[in-house]
Amino acid sequence: MTYYDDISEGYEELHEEEQLKKIELIKNYLNPRENDKLLDVGCGTGLTTEPWKCIRYGVDPAKKLIARARQKDEIKYKVAAAENIPFEDNFFDYVISITAIQNFADIDKGLKEIKRVGKGRFILTALKRSHKIEKIKELINKYFKVEEIVEEEKDLVFVV
């Protein structure tokens, strides 16, 4: 993940507004309670992890992004790839992955891992213009029961 390590200092300047808009949309579909556990896969600096009012965890393979992640409110961050999420089966009530799936080294394995660690609701988004979007749609439909697909400005949002 050297690209994201390379841009870590300017990551939020590049992506904050766009990512927070997605979170506001996602809040229409996700309302975790205070004691629910939420995992953000591909969390970057924590922009998409922080807004939730529950027990929050984030994983990202980019060490420099995790190093810049917000450490307030006891959010627990780990350097880890989606393909090898270091948590037990069915550990999380909610799992989100916001604009990260197209960057997974192995999309199939990453989605299997997301499903493995989650037990409740999933919100998965991917860039509409990614050359991998058809494969992503196919795999999400293979592993999850998609309730709705919302077309956001840049992403497809899969409500599972």
- Ordered by start, the domain boundaries in the chain are 2-159
Q: What is the pTM of this model?
A: 0.88
Where does 2-159 sit in CATH, by number? 3.40.50.150
* Lowest mean pLDDT segment, chosen from 38-42, 65-69, 92-96: 65-69
pLDDT band at 11 (very low <50, low <70, confident <90, very high): very low
Phi, psi (rounded to 5 degrees) for 80 = -165, 145
Dihedral angle, C-alpha 14, 100, 105, 121, nearest 10 °: 160
Q: In 10 A of CB 8, how many CB atoms?
A: 19
Residue 51 pLDDT greater than 80, yes or no: yes
Residue 23 pLDDT greater than 70, yes or no: yes
Residue 1 pLDDT greater than 80, yes or no: no
Indicate the residue type of 42.
G
Percent of the chain with pLDDT over 70: 87
Residue 154 pLDDT greater than 70, yes or no: yes
- pLDDT number for residue 132: 97
Give residues with Cβ within 8 angstroms of 123, minimum separation 6. 26, 29, 30, 94, 95, 96, 97, 98, 157, 158, 159, 160
